[in-house]
Structure 1
Protein backbone atom coordinates (compact mmCIF):
# COMPACT_ATOMS: atom_id res chain seq x y z
CA UNK A 1 0.00 0.00 0.00
CA UNK A 2 1.52 3.31 -1.01
CA UNK A 3 0.94 6.59 0.71
CA UNK A 4 -0.88 8.95 -1.59
CA UNK A 5 -0.40 12.67 -1.32
CA UNK A 6 -2.84 15.16 -2.66
CA UNK A 7 -1.49 17.55 -5.25
CA UNK A 8 -0.64 21.09 -4.31
CA UNK A 9 -3.37 23.27 -5.66
CA UNK A 10 -2.54 26.37 -7.53
CA UNK A 11 -4.30 29.54 -6.60
CA UNK A 12 -5.76 32.18 -8.71
CA UNK A 13 -4.20 35.64 -8.73
CA UNK A 14 -7.27 37.12 -7.01
CA UNK A 15 -6.84 34.85 -3.96
CA UNK A 16 -3.10 35.49 -3.77
CA UNK A 17 -3.70 39.24 -3.92
CA UNK A 18 -6.37 39.02 -1.21
CA UNK A 19 -4.00 37.20 1.14
CA UNK A 20 -1.21 39.68 0.45
CA UNK A 21 -3.69 42.47 1.13
CA UNK A 22 -4.73 41.17 4.56
CA UNK A 23 -1.09 40.69 5.51
CA UNK A 24 -0.42 44.28 4.48
CA UNK A 25 -3.45 45.39 6.55
CA UNK A 26 -1.89 43.63 9.55
CA UNK A 27 1.48 45.35 8.96
CA UNK A 28 -0.22 48.74 8.55
CA UNK A 29 -2.25 48.27 11.75
CA UNK A 30 0.96 47.43 13.66
CA UNK A 31 2.59 50.63 12.43
CA UNK A 32 -0.44 52.65 13.60
CA UNK A 33 -0.44 50.84 16.95
CA UNK A 34 -4.03 49.71 16.41
CA UNK A 35 -4.70 46.40 18.18
CA UNK A 36 -8.28 46.08 16.91
CA UNK A 37 -7.25 46.61 13.28
CA UNK A 38 -4.32 44.21 13.76
CA UNK A 39 -6.69 41.50 14.99
CA UNK A 40 -9.29 42.23 12.29
CA UNK A 41 -7.40 40.04 9.79
CA UNK A 42 -7.88 36.99 12.05
CA UNK A 43 -10.95 34.78 12.38
CA UNK A 44 -13.01 35.01 15.57
CA UNK A 45 -11.63 31.62 16.69
CA UNK A 46 -8.03 32.09 15.50
CA UNK A 47 -5.05 30.50 17.22
CA UNK A 48 -2.12 32.90 17.63
CA UNK A 49 1.17 31.60 19.02
CA UNK A 50 3.62 34.37 19.90
CA UNK A 51 7.41 34.05 19.72
CA UNK A 52 7.60 33.32 23.47
CA UNK A 53 5.07 30.48 23.30
CA UNK A 54 2.07 32.46 24.53
CA UNK A 55 -1.14 31.18 22.97
CA UNK A 56 -3.85 33.73 22.28
CA UNK A 57 -7.21 32.25 21.38
CA UNK A 58 -9.62 34.31 19.37
CA UNK A 59 -9.90 37.68 17.86
CA UNK A 60 -10.53 39.53 21.15
CA UNK A 61 -7.42 38.14 22.90
CA UNK A 62 -5.27 39.00 19.89
CA UNK A 63 -6.66 42.56 19.81
CA UNK A 64 -6.35 43.30 23.53
CA UNK A 65 -2.90 41.74 23.98
CA UNK A 66 -1.51 43.61 20.99
CA UNK A 67 -3.06 46.91 22.01
CA UNK A 68 -1.33 46.55 25.37
CA UNK A 69 1.99 45.88 23.59
CA UNK A 70 1.48 48.74 21.13
CA UNK A 71 0.85 51.10 24.04
CA UNK A 72 4.00 49.99 25.91
CA UNK A 73 6.89 47.80 24.75
CA UNK A 74 6.16 48.01 21.01
CA UNK A 75 5.17 51.67 20.88
CA UNK A 76 6.48 53.29 17.69
CA UNK A 77 7.72 50.03 16.14
CA UNK A 78 6.80 48.67 12.75
CA UNK A 79 7.15 45.43 10.81
CA UNK A 80 9.41 44.90 7.83
CA UNK A 81 9.65 41.79 5.69
CA UNK A 82 7.93 39.78 3.03
CA UNK A 83 6.15 36.59 2.10
CA UNK A 84 8.50 33.70 1.30
CA UNK A 85 5.93 31.19 0.07
CA UNK A 86 2.21 30.72 -0.38
CA UNK A 87 0.75 27.29 -0.98
CA UNK A 88 -2.92 26.57 -1.52
CA UNK A 89 -3.98 23.35 0.19
CA UNK A 90 -7.52 23.72 -1.10
CA UNK A 91 -9.47 26.52 -2.77
CA UNK A 92 -10.33 27.80 0.74
CA UNK A 93 -7.09 27.10 2.69
CA UNK A 94 -3.63 28.57 2.14
CA UNK A 95 -0.37 28.05 4.01
CA UNK A 96 1.82 31.16 4.06
CA UNK A 97 5.41 31.46 5.28
CA UNK A 98 6.89 34.90 5.78
CA UNK A 99 9.93 36.57 7.28
CA UNK A 100 9.10 39.71 9.20
CA UNK A 101 10.86 41.49 11.97
CA UNK A 102 10.18 44.32 14.34
CA UNK A 103 11.91 47.61 13.55
CA UNK A 104 12.36 50.06 16.39
CA UNK A 105 11.38 53.66 15.69
CA UNK A 106 15.01 54.85 15.64
CA UNK A 107 16.13 52.16 13.18
CA UNK A 108 15.59 51.53 9.48
CA UNK A 109 16.30 47.78 9.48
CA UNK A 110 15.29 44.78 11.56
CA UNK A 111 17.80 43.98 14.30
CA UNK A 112 19.15 40.41 14.32
CA UNK A 113 17.42 39.82 17.67
CA UNK A 114 14.02 40.60 16.15
CA UNK A 115 14.12 38.60 12.91
CA UNK A 116 11.29 36.09 12.77
CA UNK A 117 9.76 33.36 10.67
CA UNK A 118 5.97 33.29 10.60
CA UNK A 119 3.53 30.60 9.55
CA UNK A 120 -0.01 31.65 8.69
CA UNK A 121 -3.00 29.51 7.81
CA UNK A 122 -5.42 31.56 5.73
CA UNK A 123 -9.03 30.51 5.44
CA UNK A 124 -11.58 31.68 2.91
CA UNK A 125 -15.07 32.03 4.38
CA UNK A 126 -17.96 33.58 2.49
CA UNK A 127 -15.52 34.83 -0.14
CA UNK A 128 -13.27 36.61 2.39
CA UNK A 129 -9.75 35.55 3.35
CA UNK A 130 -8.71 35.76 7.02
CA UNK A 131 -5.94 34.16 9.04
CA UNK A 132 -7.13 31.37 11.31
CA UNK A 133 -3.75 30.29 12.69
CA UNK A 134 -0.45 32.07 13.23
CA UNK A 135 2.85 30.97 14.73
CA UNK A 136 5.98 33.08 15.02
CA UNK A 137 9.50 31.93 15.84
CA UNK A 138 12.57 34.07 16.29
CA UNK A 139 15.46 33.35 13.91
CA UNK A 140 18.46 32.08 15.84
CA UNK A 141 21.79 33.64 14.90
CA UNK A 142 24.56 31.67 16.61
CA UNK A 143 28.25 31.45 15.94
CA UNK A 144 30.03 28.09 16.17
CA UNK A 145 30.80 28.46 19.89
CA UNK A 146 27.20 29.31 20.70
CA UNK A 147 26.05 26.22 18.78
CA UNK A 148 28.48 24.03 20.75
CA UNK A 149 27.29 25.49 24.05
CA UNK A 150 23.67 25.08 22.94
CA UNK A 151 24.29 21.40 22.13
CA UNK A 152 25.95 20.84 25.52
CA UNK A 153 23.09 22.55 27.31
CA UNK A 154 20.56 20.37 25.46
CA UNK A 155 22.44 17.19 26.36
CA UNK A 156 22.47 18.02 30.07
CA UNK A 157 18.90 19.28 30.19
CA UNK A 158 17.43 15.84 29.42
Structure 2
Protein backbone atom coordinates (compact mmCIF):
# COMPACT_ATOMS: atom_id res chain seq x y z
CA UNK A 1 0.00 0.00 0.00
CA UNK A 2 2.77 2.56 0.71
CA UNK A 3 4.06 2.05 -2.84
CA UNK A 4 0.67 3.05 -4.25
CA UNK A 5 0.70 6.28 -2.22
CA UNK A 6 4.21 7.07 -3.44
CA UNK A 7 3.20 6.45 -7.06
CA UNK A 8 0.22 8.79 -6.73
CA UNK A 9 2.37 11.53 -5.20
CA UNK A 10 5.04 11.14 -7.88
CA UNK A 11 2.42 11.24 -10.66
CA UNK A 12 0.90 14.47 -9.28
CA UNK A 13 4.36 16.02 -8.92
CA UNK A 14 5.27 15.07 -12.48
CA UNK A 15 2.13 16.70 -13.91
CA UNK A 16 2.96 19.96 -12.10
CA UNK A 17 6.56 19.81 -13.26
CA UNK A 18 5.50 18.97 -16.81
CA UNK A 19 3.20 22.00 -16.84
CA UNK A 20 6.04 24.28 -15.69
CA UNK A 21 8.36 23.03 -18.45
CA UNK A 22 5.61 23.32 -21.06
CA UNK A 23 4.99 26.92 -19.97
CA UNK A 24 8.65 27.76 -20.70
CA UNK A 25 8.54 25.94 -24.05
CA UNK A 26 5.25 27.58 -25.05
CA UNK A 27 6.64 31.01 -24.16
CA UNK A 28 9.80 30.35 -26.15
CA UNK A 29 7.77 29.09 -29.12
CA UNK A 30 5.30 31.99 -28.97
CA UNK A 31 6.35 33.41 -32.32
CA UNK A 32 5.75 37.12 -32.86
CA UNK A 33 3.16 37.28 -35.65
CA UNK A 34 4.86 40.30 -37.23
CA UNK A 35 8.49 39.21 -37.18
CA UNK A 36 7.96 35.40 -37.06
CA UNK A 37 10.78 35.21 -34.52
CA UNK A 38 11.00 32.86 -31.58
CA UNK A 39 10.98 34.37 -28.09
CA UNK A 40 14.49 33.52 -26.94
CA UNK A 41 14.18 35.88 -23.97
CA UNK A 42 11.69 33.48 -22.34
CA UNK A 43 14.08 30.57 -22.78
CA UNK A 44 17.14 32.50 -21.62
CA UNK A 45 15.43 34.06 -18.61
CA UNK A 46 14.50 30.52 -17.54
CA UNK A 47 17.95 29.01 -18.02
CA UNK A 48 21.00 28.21 -15.96
CA UNK A 49 23.96 30.58 -16.25
CA UNK A 50 26.03 27.83 -17.88
CA UNK A 51 23.31 26.75 -20.34
CA UNK A 52 24.46 25.70 -23.79
CA UNK A 53 23.03 25.08 -27.24
CA UNK A 54 24.31 23.13 -30.24
CA UNK A 55 22.63 24.56 -33.31
CA UNK A 56 21.51 22.78 -36.43
CA UNK A 57 24.94 23.09 -38.10
CA UNK A 58 26.98 22.09 -35.04
CA UNK A 59 27.91 25.47 -33.56
CA UNK A 60 28.23 25.05 -29.78
CA UNK A 61 27.20 28.13 -27.85
CA UNK A 62 28.37 27.88 -24.23
CA UNK A 63 26.80 30.03 -21.52
CA UNK A 64 23.64 32.12 -21.36
CA UNK A 65 25.27 35.31 -22.64
CA UNK A 66 26.94 33.54 -25.58
CA UNK A 67 23.57 32.00 -26.46
CA UNK A 68 21.90 35.42 -26.22
CA UNK A 69 24.46 36.93 -28.61
CA UNK A 70 24.24 34.00 -31.03
CA UNK A 71 20.43 34.05 -31.12
CA UNK A 72 20.52 37.82 -31.64
CA UNK A 73 22.98 37.46 -34.51
CA UNK A 74 20.94 34.72 -36.21
CA UNK A 75 17.55 36.38 -35.80
CA UNK A 76 18.34 40.10 -35.75
CA UNK A 77 21.68 40.98 -37.32
CA UNK A 78 21.79 38.43 -40.15
CA UNK A 79 18.01 38.21 -40.37
CA UNK A 80 18.35 34.70 -41.78
CA UNK A 81 14.94 33.82 -40.34
CA UNK A 82 13.07 37.01 -41.29
CA UNK A 83 9.41 36.10 -41.85
CA UNK A 84 10.20 32.38 -41.57
CA UNK A 85 7.29 30.59 -39.89
CA UNK A 86 7.94 28.37 -36.86
CA UNK A 87 5.22 26.04 -35.59
CA UNK A 88 5.52 23.72 -32.60
CA UNK A 89 4.02 20.37 -33.62
CA UNK A 90 4.61 18.18 -30.58
CA UNK A 91 6.38 17.93 -27.25
CA UNK A 92 7.31 14.89 -25.20
CA UNK A 93 8.81 15.30 -21.74
CA UNK A 94 10.62 12.49 -19.94
CA UNK A 95 11.76 12.82 -16.34
CA UNK A 96 15.15 11.20 -15.88
CA UNK A 97 15.20 12.02 -12.17
CA UNK A 98 12.91 14.23 -10.05
CA UNK A 99 15.23 17.15 -10.92
CA UNK A 100 16.20 16.40 -14.55
CA UNK A 101 13.87 16.33 -17.55
CA UNK A 102 14.41 15.91 -21.28
CA UNK A 103 11.97 17.59 -23.65
CA UNK A 104 11.80 16.44 -27.28
CA UNK A 105 10.15 19.17 -29.35
CA UNK A 106 9.20 18.83 -33.01
CA UNK A 107 8.96 22.18 -34.78
CA UNK A 108 8.05 22.91 -38.38
CA UNK A 109 10.36 25.58 -39.84
CA UNK A 110 9.58 27.32 -43.11
CA UNK A 111 12.17 27.70 -45.85
CA UNK A 112 15.03 30.10 -45.17
CA UNK A 113 18.18 31.37 -46.87
CA UNK A 114 21.43 31.05 -44.92
CA UNK A 115 23.64 32.69 -43.95
CA UNK A 116 21.92 36.10 -44.14
CA UNK A 117 18.34 35.63 -45.34
CA UNK A 118 19.09 36.65 -48.93
CA UNK A 119 17.88 34.37 -51.72
CA UNK A 120 20.88 33.79 -53.97
CA UNK A 121 19.14 31.14 -56.06
CA UNK A 122 21.16 28.25 -54.59
CA UNK A 123 21.04 28.64 -50.83
CA UNK A 124 17.50 27.70 -49.87
CA UNK A 125 16.94 25.44 -46.88
CA UNK A 126 13.54 23.90 -47.63
CA UNK A 127 10.73 23.90 -45.11
CA UNK A 128 11.15 20.93 -42.79
CA UNK A 129 10.48 19.59 -39.35
CA UNK A 130 13.26 19.68 -36.82
CA UNK A 131 13.68 17.83 -33.55
CA UNK A 132 14.94 19.77 -30.59
CA UNK A 133 16.24 17.99 -27.52
CA UNK A 134 16.20 20.22 -24.46
CA UNK A 135 17.44 19.35 -20.98
CA UNK A 136 15.88 21.01 -17.94
CA UNK A 137 17.05 20.92 -14.33
CA UNK A 138 15.04 21.80 -11.25
CA UNK A 139 16.77 24.26 -8.92
CA UNK A 140 15.12 25.76 -5.86
CA UNK A 141 11.73 24.50 -7.04
CA UNK A 142 12.03 26.10 -10.50
CA UNK A 143 12.67 24.33 -13.80
CA UNK A 144 15.50 25.83 -15.85
CA UNK A 145 16.75 25.09 -19.35
CA UNK A 146 20.39 23.95 -19.26
CA UNK A 147 21.21 22.34 -22.62
CA UNK A 148 19.70 21.95 -26.06
CA UNK A 149 20.34 20.86 -29.61
CA UNK A 150 18.26 20.79 -32.78
CA UNK A 151 18.43 18.57 -35.87
CA UNK A 152 16.54 18.62 -39.16
CA UNK A 153 14.25 15.63 -39.54
CA UNK A 154 15.12 14.14 -42.91
CA UNK A 155 11.77 13.04 -44.34
CA UNK A 156 13.60 10.80 -46.82
CA UNK A 157 15.04 8.64 -44.07
CA UNK A 158 13.37 5.33 -43.43
CA UNK A 159 11.98 4.89 -39.94
CA UNK A 160 13.45 1.58 -38.74
CA UNK A 161 10.54 1.19 -36.31
CA UNK A 162 7.98 0.82 -39.12
TM-score by length of 2: 0.68
Gaps of 5+ in 1: 1-8, 106-110, 145-158
Superposed, 1:118-129 pairs within 5 Å as 118-129=132-143
Instruction: Choose the corresponding residue for 2:149, options 108, 121, 135.
Output: 135
Q: Secondary structure at the match of 1:12?
A: helix
Pairs within 5 Å for 1:51-130? 51-71=56-76, 72-103=79-110, 113-130=127-144
Q: Return the structure number with greater helix share.
A: 1
Q: Using the TM superposition, give the Cα deviation of residue 67 of structure 1 relative to its aligned residue in structure 2, in angstroms.
A: 1.2
Q: Please tell me whether the aligned partners of residues 29 and 37 of structure 1 are also in contact (alpha carbons under 8 angstroms).
A: no
Say how many residue pairs are matched: 131
Per the TM alignment, residue 122 of structure 1 is displaced from its structure 2 partner at its CA by 0.8
Q: Could you tell me how far apart the structure 2 residues matched to 1:35 and 1:96 are? A: 16
Q: Deviations over 1:9-64 (max 9, x none)?
A: 75522101000000011112674565544422332101201010010001111111
What is the CA distance between 1:65 and its match in structure 2?
1.0
- TM-score normalised by structure 1 residue count: 0.70
Unmatched runs of 5 consecutive residues or more in structure 2: 1-9, 113-124
1:107-147 C-alpha deviation (Å, 9 max, x unpaired): xxxx9643101111111111111111101111113389xxx
In structure 2, C-alpha distance between the alignment counterparts of 1:62 and 1:120, rounded to whole Å: 14
Q: Please state if 1:28 is matched with 2:30.
A: yes
The 1:123/1:66 distance shift into structure 2, 3 A limit, reads same
Instruction: Determine the C-alpha separation between the residues in 2 that align with 1:60 and 1:89.
Output: 27
Q: Structure 2 vs 1, CA of residues 29 and 39 (structure 1 numbering), >3 Å: closer, same or farther?
A: farther
CA RMSD of aligned residues (A): 2.7
